[in-house]
Amino acid sequence: MQGRLEDMAVADLIQHNCQDRKVAKFELKSGARKAELFFKNGNVVHAVLDDREGEEAVYDLLTWEEGSFDSKGEIESPQVSITREWSSLLLEGMRRLDEAQQKAASGKSLEQELFSAVLAPTEVKQAPAIPVSVTVNAEISRSWAAGGGYAAAVKAGDACQSRMQEIADEVGGFIGAAVANENGDVLVHTEFAQSAPAVFVAHVSQFIKTVGNVVSKLGAGLLEDNLLTTETAFLLIRFLDSSSKYLLVVVDNSLANLGSLRHVSRVAADHFAAMDLEIPEKRS
């Protein structure tokens, strides 16, 4: 596998290879700079860029917008310098990139800002955590408990909570999020700042049905995502493994970073897709 970073961003390259879960070594070049990335067991385990290695090398690498990458095959890493899960690694990288871009407007170059973020982490201002309250559809909770016991249901609920919390923490301007199905049933939701989750989901489901119909008439396959931009908000709708369920994230468009929104929702959608979120009566 080889290609240009103009066609496949470093973040996408990492996500693709981690989801493939293969052992792999990649060499990346941008101008005179060279980097190496090693993958194993669905994570980045080692990265080298100039004289840096580990997470900091990945964060720097995420700023590359041009260059090339080349797979060197199934080569084991000589060491493990990264233990953080790949999605968390990318989210931290995106957060730093976002902050650096905002600060760059103050006159320093993006690279200067990134270096200062790397060298002086105490100066990096973390976005304040917004505690979100997550509710799982009662039928689904009961189904989890019936299938694997109370502890399993709590664990699954906690997984939903942490995934929604991650969205709220990462995107900025968080208003609310929900996982729903094509019938408009709310499966998992946070509180919404402006309205009841069911109201959001009802209107969005109707919108999706219409869009789905027209996309189908275009012969363009299944919908991947929709972004509805209004005067005040971004409503990102990302489909899970099929078009029967979707993740809706609503954010204040004056505060949110669209790149982070797209990335974090993609990661969250993958997690929700792997969960059992079927309402029992609707199982086939």
Partner 1 sequence: MAKTNGHNGHFGAQELTKLLGEMNTEADFPIAVVTNRDGLVIASSSPSGMDAQRQSAVAAKVGETAALASSQLQMGRTDEISISAEEGQHLICRPIPVNGKDLFLAVMLKDRGQPYRRATNKVIAHIRQHWAF
- How far is Cα 215 from Cα 206, in angstroms, rounded to an integer? 14
Q: Helix or strand or coil: residue 103?
A: helix
Rule CB under 8 A: choose which of 2, 112, 133, 195 binds partner 1. Answer: 195
Rule CB under 8 A: choose which of 130, 151, 152, 222 binds partner 1. Answer: 222
When asked if residue 270 is in the footprint of partner 1 (CB under 8 A), the reply is no
* DSSP string for residues in 126-183: PPPP----EEE-HHHHHHHHHHHHHHHHHHHHHHHHHHHHHHHHHHSSEEEEEEEETT
When asked if residue 231 is in the footprint of partner 1 (CB under 8 A), the reply is yes
CB of 246 to partner 1, least distance (A): 13
Rule CB under 8 A: choose which of 102, 183, 206, 244 binds partner 1. Answer: 206
Closer to partner 1 by CB, 146 or 222: give it.
222
When asked if residue 104 is in the footprint of partner 1 (CB under 8 A), the reply is no
Among the residue ranges 87-95, 100-108, 160-168, 221-229, the one whose residues contact partner 1 (CB under 8 A) = 221-229
How many residues does this entry show for the chain?
A: 284
When asked if residue 200 is in the footprint of partner 1 (CB under 8 A), the reply is yes
State the number of CA atoms in the 13 A half-sphere of 54 facing the CB.
7
Q: Please, which of residues 234-263 interact with partner 1 by CB under 8 A?
A: 235
- How far is Cα 173 from Cα 229, in angstroms, rounded to an integer? 14
Q: How many residues bind partner 1 (CB under 8 A)?
A: 30
The closest of 231, 176, 233, 240 to 208, measured between CA atoms, is 240
Among the residue ranges 71-79, 128-136, 166-174, 207-215, the one whose residues contact partner 1 (CB under 8 A) = 207-215
- How far is Cα 214 from Cα 226, in angstroms, rounded to an integer? 13
CB of 102 to partner 1, least distance (A): 19
Rule CB under 8 A: choose which of 1, 215, 273, 279 binds partner 1. Answer: 215
Structure tokens at 176: 């609310």
Q: To 10 degrees, the CA torsion angle through 50, 55, 60, 62?
A: 130
When asked if residue 220 is in the footprint of partner 1 (CB under 8 A), the reply is yes
* Beta pairing, strands 33-40 & 43-49: antiparallel
Closer to partner 1 by CB, 102 or 232: give it.
232
When asked if residue 210 is in the footprint of partner 1 (CB under 8 A), the reply is yes
CB of 223 closer than 8 Å to CB of 211: yes
The closest of 162, 126, 194, 112 to 275, measured between CA atoms, is 162
CB of 64 to partner 1, least distance (A): 15
CB of 221 to partner 1, least distance (A): 4
When asked if residue 19 is in the footprint of partner 1 (CB under 8 A), the reply is no
Q: Which parts of this chain interact with partner 1 (CB under 8 A)?
A: 194-195, 199-200, 203-204, 206-207, 210-211, 214-215, 217-233, 235
